[in-house]
């Protein structure tokens, strides 16, 4: 009689037909007696042919030759092996080892510093992150492309002072990590709270300077080129890479000059490529490390007159100034507070849906991909949106938009409505919501039995049975956990509220006590409520109350629909098709003016794999075709690629495609 | 020729095609494959230079190549995950099939080391369980059990992906 493990061990051979007839019969007999194995067999029958396809995939014949040639060249560069390895007398070893350990540490540090690039930069970051304060001085290009003097002082934990521009144009930005003030020459002050996500510290600046270990390694991997120069006291790292800046990706260059001895930066120069030229965006000198900057530097005259409302509009640019400004001097400022960079394009065929949102300096950068129109409006306005026509609401839209976070919804929809083809109206909805209140009847109850360690809450469900194990858990946490892990609570998280009520002195608050509970149930609230009542004297009260909430009602207005705005540079690529491609891929693109068009395909390392010169074309929609071959006509490997359109040499945002062979 | 160079040359001659195939089947990118191949034999060379006695060069080389290939594959996947999702147009059977093949390659990387090695050698390389036992220095039965577990895991993961689990 065949045993289960024998069946399992022979199953893949059986499915491949590799068994002898007798073994095969035994397997079939076992399967007949155990019909549950059919499911396992069906699963493996799916995987084995896929693995077989991998097996059939053979490398090109010349690859071995090329690999061997490269290997031999590398082996030849190896140092010859000393015939007689030097042997140290036994009595010398301890001394030798202790001395060599110190020496090795020095050599290792030297090697890291000299030979590896990301490690060297990470070391710089580490040093910076230990600082208490430093000063930056130099210039940055402002939004009008004019070199503007720039000085900045930073001090832990989050003090920042930046002076930008001169004379009547000067702005002083001061932050204590919680508040940010912008002071104009006339004394006017604009004040706003710094959102926690923007509260910067030197530590974070260090990490955001692209110098932390992980990021430095990524830069290294993605860098087109990485160069190190020894200039006496200074070591200069130059890194060329591609990254998104402003309205799209661009080739960028970061030059970091580091003091050889202190390993702290002295100068950082940031440039980007405009056509064939490199344009320097900022040139900043670093110094006054750990200087004791007076506290007064980080205070403003809070008695100063506030900025008049009309001036606020002109302050958008200054509001975006942040400690990161040193590295990202060109903060793309949305025109009129909102700028559509790409799209909207309606979803074509099936595809993944998603969105990303980054906020910096009060500006939100949103990228929607096949995202429901209703949800886009919700993200942009911060208000729930509804459509009578559900198809309209769920319509997938691809769109890239930058906007000021504080822009009121009417302004947003005045701009976005025509673009999305909808009108928005704010409607107040009436609803009833329930206030769920837990009260305790004042009785005493057993507290936790274990007096050490922190509390733990654990819920597991198996075979429709939920097991709750709470040890030393605060009663509020226990109730909260039990309630939200239960079915049939009748709680609507979008509307209802949950509160714990205790009217006595805080030190006697029973909800703050730590208790134990082990409980097993089907997970229904009817079963989970009794232990709260019986053991802890906790009761639940439900109070229904009317509730008014605002919602944007969207109605379609096809006649309002504007043509998708193309990029500032005059064109854009759309989704490649098919994606993944095998082997040819169609790359649709649009030009909104007559221009010289070129599509470039990059591999994951940012190297150009293929350039498709498309010639001069009038405005319109076109398609480029890539046969998944490189410039030498060799098929490219399976994997992900980036592609982008260049309009008269100006890059547009890149998109991704995959090649699957 | 020094001994280590001699040993490396012999290993290249004898196991080079196998190592190249393994690398290719795990990461079908000519540049990556060349790198993995060279790294594997350079490590072998370095080990023999240091005087390390490698009793089973085939097993040693296979494991080193597989480790290197899976490490690079995981790095690439991490990098790809960090990028935004690439739109995928389903519907074309060939493309879907190619994606599934790629998925099997990638899922193999997530298996425990022994199961992964057996799975690759059996399914991607077509070695018999007896040969796998020799390469991995284990019994045939243990190799069979590892393969079954590997297949079950890959199947469960693929089902999970279909259900949209991370």
CATH classification at residue A587: 2.60.40.4070
Closest CA to A164 of A137, A187, A200: A137
A350 and B28 within 8 Å at the Cβ level: the answer is no
In angstroms, the CA A98 to CA A111 distance is: 20
A580 and B91 within 8 Å at the Cβ level: the answer is no
Residue A599 φ then ψ, to 5°: -110, 130
Q: Which domain range does residue A21 map to?
A: 1-76
Task: Judge whether A134 lies within some domain.
Answer: yes
Are residue A441 and residue A534 in the same domain, yes or no?
A: yes
Q: Is A313 on the interface with B (CB under 8 A)?
A: no
**Residues found in chain A:** 661
Task: Judge whether A155 lies within some domain.
Answer: yes
Are residue A152 and residue A292 in the same domain, yes or no?
A: yes
Are residue A278 and residue A408 in the same domain, yes or no?
A: no
pLDDT grade for A109, boundaries at 50, 70 and 90: very low
Please give, rounded to a whole number of angstroms, the shortest distance from the CA of B36 to a CA of chain A. Answer: 9
Task: Judge whether A315 lies within some domain.
Answer: yes
Q: How many domains does chain A have?
A: 5
Which of A548, A580, A595 is at the close of a domain? Answer: A548
Are residue A301 and residue A157 in the same domain, yes or no?
A: yes
Are residue A224 and residue A249 in the same domain, yes or no?
A: yes
> Which pair of structure tokens corresponds to residue B30?
């000519």
Query: Measured between alpha carbons, how far apart are the two ends of chain B, in Å?
Result: 53
Note the pLDDT of residue A352: 58
Q: Name the average pLDDT for chain A.
A: 73
Which of A276, A297, A326 is at the close of a domain? Answer: A326
Most confident of A292-306, A606-620, B81-95: A606-620
B 74-113 residues inside an 8 A Cβ radius of A: 76, 79-80, 83-92, 94-95, 97-105
> Which pair of structure tokens corresponds to residue A265?
């930066």
Handedness of CA A483, A486, A491, A493 (dihedral sign): positive
- The tally of CA atoms less than 13 A away on the side-chain side of residue A28 is 8
A578 and B83 within 8 Å at the Cβ level: the answer is no
Bridge partners of residue A554, in order along the sequence: A387, A424
Are residue A366 and residue A403 in the same domain, yes or no?
A: yes
Please determine, for residue A103, whether its predicted confidence score (pLDDT) is greater than 60. no
**Rama region for B146: left / alpha / beta (φ>0; ψ in -120 to 50; rest):** alpha
A63 and B92 within 8 Å at the Cβ level: the answer is no
Task: Judge whether A450 lies within some domain.
Answer: yes
What ipTM did this prediction achieve? 0.85
Task: Judge whether A349 lies within some domain.
Answer: yes
Instruction: Find the closest chain A residue to B127 by CA distance.
Output: A55
Are residue A186 and residue A226 in the same domain, yes or no?
A: yes
CATH classification at residue A288: 2.50.20.10
Output DSSP code: residue A315: G
Task: Judge whether A95 lies within some domain.
Answer: no
Quick one: what percent of chain B has pLDDT higher than 90?
1
**What is the set of domains in chain B, with CATH numbers?**
1-86 (1.10.1740), 89-166 (1.10.10.10)
All residues of chain B having their beta carbon less than 8 Å from the beta carbon of residue A5 are 145
Q: Are B33 and B20 in contact (CB under 8 A)?
A: yes
Are residue A200 and residue A268 in the same domain, yes or no?
A: yes
Which of A61, A76, A91 is at the close of a domain? Answer: A76
Q: Which residue has the higher pLDDT, A354 or A329?
A: A354
pLDDT in tens, A374-415: 999 999 998 889 888 877 888 888 887 878 777 788 888 988
pLDDT in tens, A409-439: 888 898 888 888 888 998 888 888 898 999 9
pLDDT in tens, A145-172: 678 888 888 887 667 788 877 887 777 8
Are residue A151 and residue A295 in the same domain, yes or no?
A: yes
Task: Judge whether A105 lies within some domain.
Answer: no
Are residue A344 and residue A442 in the same domain, yes or no?
A: no
Cβ count near A277 (within 10 Å)? 8
Are residue A142 and residue A183 in the same domain, yes or no?
A: yes
- Mutation pick from B84, B86, B108 vs chain A, by most beta carbons of A within 10 Å, is B86
CA distances from B91 to A351, A486, A579, B87 (A): 11, 40, 11, 13
A 202-221 residues inside an 8 A Cβ radius of B: 221
Q: Is B1 on the interface with A (CB under 8 A)?
A: no
In angstroms, the CA A314 to CA A308 distance is: 11
B88 and A64 within 8 Å at the Cβ level: the answer is no
Q: Is B154 on the interface with A (CB under 8 A)?
A: yes
B151 and A44 within 8 Å at the Cβ level: the answer is yes
Are residue A405 and residue A504 in the same domain, yes or no?
A: no
All residues of chain B having their beta carbon less than 8 Å from the beta carbon of residue A657 are 86
Q: Are A138 and A285 in contact (CB under 8 A)?
A: yes
Q: Can you spell out the DSSP letters for A171-237?
A: EEEEE-SSEEEEE-TTS-EEEEEPPGGG---HHHHHIIIIISHHHHHHHHHH-SEEEEEEETTEEEE
Inter-axis angle of helices B57-82 and B93-109, nearest 10: 120
Task: Judge whether A564 lies within some domain.
Answer: no
Q: Which residue has the tokens 């030498």?
A: A632
Q: Which residue has the higher pLDDT, A105 or B105?
A: B105
B30 and A10 within 8 Å at the Cβ level: the answer is no
pLDDT in tens, A565-599: 434 457 777 777 776 776 678 787 877 778 888 89
Cβ count near A381 (within 10 Å)? 21
């Amino acid at each position: 009689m065949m045993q289960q493990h024998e069946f399992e061990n022979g199953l893949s051979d059986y499915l491949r037909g590799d068994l002898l007839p007798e073994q095969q019969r035994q397997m079939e007999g076992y399967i007949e007696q155990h019909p549950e194995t059919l499911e396992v067999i069906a699963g493996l029958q799916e995987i084995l042919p896929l693995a077989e396809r991998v097996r059939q995939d053979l490398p090109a014949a010349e690859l071995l030759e090329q690999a061997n040639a490269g290997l031999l060249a590398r082996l030849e560069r190896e140092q010859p092996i000393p015939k007689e390895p030097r042997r140290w007398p036994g009595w010398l070893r301890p001394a030798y080892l202790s001395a060599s350990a110190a020496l090795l540490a020095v050599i290792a540090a030297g090697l890291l510093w000299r030979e590896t690039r990301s490690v060297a930069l990470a070391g710089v970051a580490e040093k910076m992150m230990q600082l208490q304060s430093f000063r930056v001085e130099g210039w940055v290009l402002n939004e009008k492309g004019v070199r503007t003097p720039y000085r900045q002082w930073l001090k832990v934990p989050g003090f920042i002072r930046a002076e930008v521009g001169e004379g009547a144009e000067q702005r002083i930005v001061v932050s204590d990590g919680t508040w940010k003030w912008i002071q104009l020459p006339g004394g006017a002050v604009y004040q706003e709270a710094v959102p926690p996500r923007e509260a910067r510290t030197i530590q974070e600046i260090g990490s955001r300077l692209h110098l932390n270990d992980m990021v430095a390694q990524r830069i290294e991997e993605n860098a087109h080129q990485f160069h190190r120069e020894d200039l006496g006291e200074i070591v200069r790292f130059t890194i060329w890479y591609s990254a998104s800046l402003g309205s799209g990706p661009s080739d960028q260059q970061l030059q970091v000059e580091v003091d050889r001895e202190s390993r702290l930066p002295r100068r950082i120069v940031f440039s980007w490529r405009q056509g064939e030229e490199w344009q320097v965006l900022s040139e900043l000198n670093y110094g006054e490390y750990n200087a004791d900057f007076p506290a007064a530097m980080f205070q403003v005259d809070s008695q100063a007159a506030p900025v008049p409302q009309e001036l606020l509009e002109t302050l958008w640019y200054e509001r975006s100034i942040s400690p990161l400004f040193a590295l990202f001097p060109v903060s793309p400022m949305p025109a009129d507070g909102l700028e559509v960079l790409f799209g909207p394009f309606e979803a074509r065929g099936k595809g993944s849906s998603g969105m990303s949102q980054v906020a910096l300096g009060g500006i939100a950068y949103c990228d929607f991909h096949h995202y429901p129109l209703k949800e886009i409006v919700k993200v942009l306005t911060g208000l729930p949106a509804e459509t009578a026509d559900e198809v309209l609401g769920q319509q997938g839209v691809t769109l890239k938009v930058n906007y000021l976070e504080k822009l009121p919804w009417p302004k947003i929809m005045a701009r976005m409505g025509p673009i999305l083809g909808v009108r928005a109206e704010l409607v107040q909805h009436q609803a009833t919501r329930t206030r769920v209140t837990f009260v305790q009847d004042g009785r005493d109850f057993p507290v936790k039995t274990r007096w050490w360690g922190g509390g733990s809450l654990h819920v597991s469900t198996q075979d429709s049975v939920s097991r709750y194990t709470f040890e030393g858990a605060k009663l509020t946490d226990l109730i909260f956990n039990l309630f939200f892990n239960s079915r049939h609570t009748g709680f609507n998280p979008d509307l209802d509220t949950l509160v714990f009520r205790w009217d006595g002195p805080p030190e006697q608050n029973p909800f703050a006590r730590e208790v134990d509970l082990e409980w097993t149930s089907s997970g229904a609230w009817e079963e989970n409520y009794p232990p709260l009542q019986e053991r802890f004297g906790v009761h639940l009260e439900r109070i229904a109350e009317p509730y008014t909430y605002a919602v944007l009602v969207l109605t379609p207005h096809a006649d309002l629909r504007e043509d998708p705005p193309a990029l500032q540079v005059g064109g854009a690529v759309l989704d490649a098709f098919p994606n993944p491609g095998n082997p040819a891929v169609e790359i649709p693109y649009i030009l909104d003016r007559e221009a010289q068009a070129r599509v470039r395909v990059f591999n994951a390392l940012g190297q150009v794999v293929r350039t498709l010169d498309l010639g001069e074309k009038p405005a319109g929609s076109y398609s480029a075709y890539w046969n998944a071959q490189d410039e030498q006509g060799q098929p490219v490997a399976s994997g992900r690629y980036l592609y982008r359109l260049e309009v008269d040499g100006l890059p547009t945002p890149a998109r991704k495609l995959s090649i699957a062979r | 020729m020094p001994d280590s160079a001699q040993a490396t040359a012999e290993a290249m001659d004898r196991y080079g095609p196998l190592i190249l195939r393994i690398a290719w089947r795990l990461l079908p990118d000519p540049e990556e494959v060349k790198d993995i191949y060279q790294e594997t034999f350079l490590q072998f060379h370095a080990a023999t230079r240091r005087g390390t006695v490698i009793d089973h060069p085939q097993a040693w080389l296979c494991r080193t190549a597989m480790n290197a290939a899976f490490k690079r594959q995981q790095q690439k996947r991490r990098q790809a995950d960090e990028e935004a999702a690439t739109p995928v147009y389903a519907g074309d059977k060939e493309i879907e099939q190619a994606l599934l093949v790629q998925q099997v390659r990638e899922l193999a990387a997530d298996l425990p080391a022994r199961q992964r090695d057996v799975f690759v050698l059996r399914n991607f390389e077509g070695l018999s369980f007896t040969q796998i036992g020799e390469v991995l220095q284990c019994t045939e039965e243990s190799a069979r059990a590892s393969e079954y577990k590997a297949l079950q895991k890959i199947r469960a993961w693929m089902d999970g992906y279909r259900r949209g689990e991370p």
